[in-house]
A and B are shown apart, each in its own frame.
Chain A
Amino acid sequence: MFRKFLVLFVSIITFLACSSSEEITPTIIDGFDRNALLENIADNIIIPAYEDFSGKMNALKTAGDTFSTAPNQSNLEALRVSWFAAYKTWQHIEMFDIGKAEELQFKFYMNIYPVTVSDIEDNITNGSYDLNSVNNQDAQGFPALDYLLHGLADSDAAILEKFTIAEDNDNYKNYLIAILNQMNTLTTSVVSDFKAQRNAFVISTENTATSSVNKLINDYIFYYEKGLRANKFGIPAGVFSENALPEKVEGQYKNDVSKELALDALTAVQNLFEGRHYNAATTGVSFKDYLVKLNRTDIATSTSDQFDIAGSQVEKLDNSFAAQIDTDNTAMTMAYDELQKAVVLLKVDMLQAFNVSIDYVDADGD
């Protein structure tokens, strides 16, 4: 028995020895222009998206100021429209966790949901709070505005009362303004810093843990896996828990916007993969081109196709993911499953082709 095993072992070794002579060297001769990739992403995607968001954030703050000065139905509605417009554009920039955005933990101050309502209400009641504290990351940003504009009470009239005749109506108005100021200040800082650092960003093309290109790729995949797949779909659908958690959808107080926000995010992810210019049909140098250059058209095509498949699965869902989960959570988990398939394509296949190391570990969750 033992001898037979050894004979087999030797045969395998011999086989390996023979076949190894035909193998090509493992060093990838990578003729791809990473600099052109970064230029396209910086100049045609990140900066225009940042500028668009910056403008909408400004408009949102102005609408907040107007509402605070005159809290009435029409100003409330205008503020809600501005909130949603900015929130949609936010979906195009959350993935860029680089430079100042990373340093300031921009996304943690802009879009942590669900909010902790008791923290928001305590802050309002106390009238003093430190919005830069980690403890308040789930009490500000778009989700806190969602709560203030849609979730404070059951009717618009009752919501308006909080800002008008309620005893602490000044505290509500002050909190609204404080959140908007925080969001606007952070945005200004992130956007101006990225523009200032643009040249340094596009030339940082080496394959190291700290180069722009590696960090961008890692942030992109991390966002897709966590920010999009898990936060928008998996967590509310109960993929990671015993039961579904519909109260954890994005935009839960407005309620009927979770699908639209998720589709914006998915479009942004696909656009970056394909190098599509922000708000335009033109495409430039992309991750997809990089794969093609490496003779991995198979991954390039499969990934684009998978985004399309996931997108059409998401299209089938109710505008309100919370409603979808309550009526038929299977449709929600089916969308999640299609999104998950692209995680494998990006995180395993694409990264191996690029020879880029993953720089984050999955939290062990305890």
Chain B
Amino acid sequence: MKKVLLSIGCVVLLMACSNTESETEIIQQETVAPATYTFERDGTSSVSFGGQTTRIEMAGEFVSALKSTTESVASLNAKFAHTAGENNFSDADLNASSKSIRSKVAASTDFYASNTTDAAAIKADFDSWISAQVEDVFPKWDMYASEGNAGQIQEAGGGSVRYVSAKGIEYNQLINKGLISALMVDQILNNYLSPAVLDAADNVADNDADAVNEGKNYTTMEHKWDEAFGYLYGKEADITAPTLNNDSFLNKYLGRVEGDTDFAGIAEEIYNAFKLGRAAIVAKDYTTRALQAEILREKISEIIGMRAVYYLQQGKNNLPTDKGGAFHDLSEGIGFIYGLQFTRKPNATAAYFTKAEVDGFMTTLQSGNGFWDLTSETLDEMSATIAAKFNFTLAQAGS
């Protein structure tokens, strides 16, 4: 053992020696990472992502409303696809906003600009889950769920009451967890971090010339990167020291993954990549920017993959004794699984799983009486298939 370490030491020393010649060059190329996500031009912050914060807030009100039986399909759709000026939300600023959630679902440049067929099918999935919640689950709110029948089911030990479809699915969970990927992850990884968006039109020339947008303090490229950042950190009180768990979406689940000792450190890796990439844009260092984008694609995709496996395993563990608890886990899990099609492999143009593969998972989970019919074997097999494509093991994600 000592010998191995000594030889590593020698190699490291050699590397250190040989490095001296190119040191100057390296330093010139590398953007220096700032301590925090703080960027200023002429003494004023150049960071802006208000639109992302707005959509996270709209999504928060929307998913809460999915459990309110006084809502109708129309009123929920209006929250999902808000029109400026309509009183769809409790917050006046949201009502006044021209932003909408639905317009940004499956709407990234890389994945959907020339694939409106899949984009439309995905939006239609969300629409169908909203209708099913109102038409199939709301009327059975006070009935007990059973195989093939929607209704309520309580978690064991006097736990929370869950409201499920005839197949055991909590649509509000499927929609909530599905949105994390269809909205946040897709927009971050396949839109705002993409050269197709960052470098569109005159963005590079403008950024090189420090040509800011009219009336703004940022270049378009800077702003696009901030918008990616905003979908993850938009509800943080202080973006120089993110605390996580500040929304019901990606920010929360990054916090959950960070809390698993097998994944600890991921939050810092993601934050570091965001701030170094943004600094690289300021420094016109597009190589470093691209490297950070690839790190973000891998790590943010990992959040979705990890939670998908985690909930399948939790569901499996609860199925024999606690159907309510298991169905809740699986409802979260199916939402993360649906989201796998929006992930992005680093240095590639594809998601970790294709839409066809995801549709296959969805069919398996919902066949027959859905969650009522699931077996440990099916859930283990699916967990293993998902984990195999990521840089973690089933065991690491499962606990």
Which residues of A have CB within 8 Å of B155? Answer: 134
Contact A135 B153 (CB under 8 A): yes
A13 engages B323 (CB within 8 Å): no
Query: Which positions 22-38 of chain A face chain B at CB distance < 8 Å?
Result: none
A2 touches B23 (CB 8 A): yes
Closest to B8 in A: A13
Whether A137 lies near B157 (C-beta < 8 A) is: yes
Q: Determine whether B90 belongs to the interface, using a CB cutoff of 8 Å to chain A.
A: no
Give per-residue flags for B285-328: 1 if the beta carbon is below 8 A from chain A beta carbons, else 0.
00000000000000000000000000000100000011110000
Contact with B along A121-140 (1 / 0, CB 8 A): 00000000000011101100
Min CB gap A145→B, angstroms:
15
The size of the chain B interface, using a CB distance under 8 A, is 30
Q: Mark B1-25, 1 if CB is under 8 A from A, else 0.
A: 1100110110011011001100100
State in angstroms the CA–CA spacing of A137 and B26 once bound together. 66
Q: Interface readout for A1-44 with B: 1 if CB under 8 Å, 0 if not? A: 01100110110011011101100000000000000000000000
Whether B20 pairs with A112 at a CB distance below 8 angstroms is no
A17 and B2 contact, Cβ closer than 8 Å, known pairs A3-B20, A10-B9, A10-B13:
yes
- B95 is an interface residue with CB less than 8 A from chain A: no
Contacts A10-B12, A17-B5; A3 near B19 (Cβ below 8 A): yes
Q: Is the interface of A mostly helix, strand, loop or mixed?
A: helix
Report yes or no: B156 in contact with A137, Cβ–Cβ below 8 A: yes
Chain B residues whose CB sits within 8 angstroms of the CB of A13 once the complex forms: 5, 8-9, 12
Does B2 lie within 8 Å of A134, measured CB to CB?
A: no
Answer whether residue A267 sits at the interface, using C-beta atoms and an 8 A cutoff. Answer: no
Which of A6, A16, A361 is in CB contact (< 8 Å) with B399? A361
A292 to B193, CA, bound (A): 57
A134 touching B324 by the CB < 8 A rule?
yes
The chain A residue with its CB closest to the CB of B158 is: A138
Whether B9 pairs with A108 at a CB distance below 8 angstroms is: no
Count residues of chain A with CB under 8 A from any CB of chain B.
Answer: 29
Q: A105 within 8 Å of B by Cβ?
A: yes
Known: A2-B19, A3-B20, A13-B12. A134 touches B154 (CB 8 A): yes
A333 smallest CB distance to B (angstroms): 22
Q: Let me know if A20 and B157 touch, CB within 8 A.
A: no
Contact B16 A116 (CB under 8 A): no
Per the bound structure, the CA–CA distance linking A42 and B157 in Å amounts to 26
Q: Is A242 part of the binding interface, using a Cβ–Cβ cutoff of 8 Å?
A: no
Name the residue of chain A whose CB is nearest to the CB of B4.
A17
B361 an interface residue at 8 Å Cβ cutoff? Answer: no
Whether a CB of chain A sits under 8 angstroms from the CB of B99 is no
Contact (Cβ within 8 A) A6 B16:
yes
Task: Say if the beta carbon of A298 comes within 8 Å of chain B.
Answer: no
Q: Which one of B1, B13, B256, B323 lies within 8 Å of A134 (CB-CB)?
A: B323
A364 at the interface (CB under 8 A from B): yes
A135 and B16: CB pair below 8 A? no
Minimal beta-carbon separation of B307 from chain A (angstroms): 10
Closest 10 CB pairs of A and B: A138-B158, A112-B158, A17-B5, A6-B16, A108-B157, A135-B154, A17-B2, A13-B9, A10-B9, A134-B156
Can you name 14 extra interface pairs (CB under 8 A) apart from A105-B321, A108-B157, A112-B157?
A10-B9, A17-B1, A17-B6, A20-B2, A105-B157, A107-B157, A108-B156, A114-B158, A134-B155, A135-B154, A137-B154, A137-B156, A137-B158, A138-B154
**What are 14 A-B pairs with beta-carbon distances under 8 A?**
A2-B26, A3-B16, A6-B16, A9-B12, A14-B5, A14-B9, A105-B157, A108-B157, A134-B322, A137-B154, A137-B156, A137-B157, A138-B154, A361-B314
